[in-house]
Chains A and B, each alone.
Chain A
Amino acid sequence: NAGVTQTPKFQVLKTGQSMTLQCAQDMNHNSMYWYRQDPGMGLRLIYYSASEGTTDKGEVPNGYNVSRLNKREFSLRLESAAPSQTSVYFCASSETDRENSPLHFGNGTRLTVT
């Protein structure tokens, strides 16, 4: 029972490089999310997808783009990485986008930008 799978687990980038973080869920959930976690700041929402075919900005979308490739997959792209994007990134999914639908998280991608 895989749940939410994120790849890669670790990544080091130089400033200006690009990369895509991959996320897939096997729970047939409709909604998916990307969060970043920084010390003392909890998790902050970058982008979310309420359902297949829709995406919307969260609290901290600048410098990121997303693609909801299909119902299972939701990728996060950094076009030109900056040191401020050094963080741990979590993908999550939920059955619906209703406010009481719990999130299921992947194990995270630890990204360092030098």
Chain B
Amino acid sequence: AQSVTQLGSHVSVSEGALVLLRCNYSSSVPPYLFWYVQYPNQGLQLLLKYTTGATLVKGINGFEAEFKKSETSFHLTKPSAHMSDAAEYFCAVSGSKAAGNKLTFGGGTRVLVKP
């Protein structure tokens, strides 16, 4: 079985400050990891994904995430927050071939950006 825990359901950052969203996962097999963003009244959009290879993954809108196997983590960061980053962010994991593409999502972290 696989699971995802996102620490903090709400995060408030000042414009220009570092954004750090935490994600820990459990998986019985090497995982594939994803971050999605959801803007108000919209569906989820893919920010970035880790499959294999380089553990630092760069995504859209200046976001990046680092896969740390020893810590079972996949934290999302952005060096400088912009007002347009206000949204809800979801970490997700998929694992075994048996599970296919049935993603397991974390509970989400809503980001508020203060001017």
Knowing A40-B9, A96-B101, A99-B99, say if A4 contacts B106 (CB, 8 Å).
Answer: no
By beta carbon, the residue of chain A nearest B6 is A42
A74 within 8 A of B: no
By beta carbon, the residue of chain B nearest A58 is B102
Q: Which residues of B contact A41 (CB under 8 A)?
A: 107
Q: Which residues of B contact A50 (CB under 8 A)?
A: 100
Bound CA span A105–B42, Å: 9
Considering only residues 83-114 of chain A, those with a C-beta below 8 Å from chain B are 90, 92, 94, 96-108
A43 within 8 A of B: yes
Select which of A31, A105, A108 is within 8 A of B101 by beta carbon. A31
Report the contact-size class of chain A (Cβ under 8 Å from the partner): 20 to 34
Q: What does the 1/0 interface line of B1-17 toward A look like (CB < 8 Å)?
A: 00010000100000000
- Residues in chain A within 8 A of chain B (CB atoms): 4, 31, 33, 40-45, 48, 50, 58, 90, 92, 94, 96-108
- Residues in chain B within 8 A of chain A (CB atoms): 4, 9, 32, 34, 36, 41-46, 49, 51, 90, 92, 94-97, 99-103, 105-108
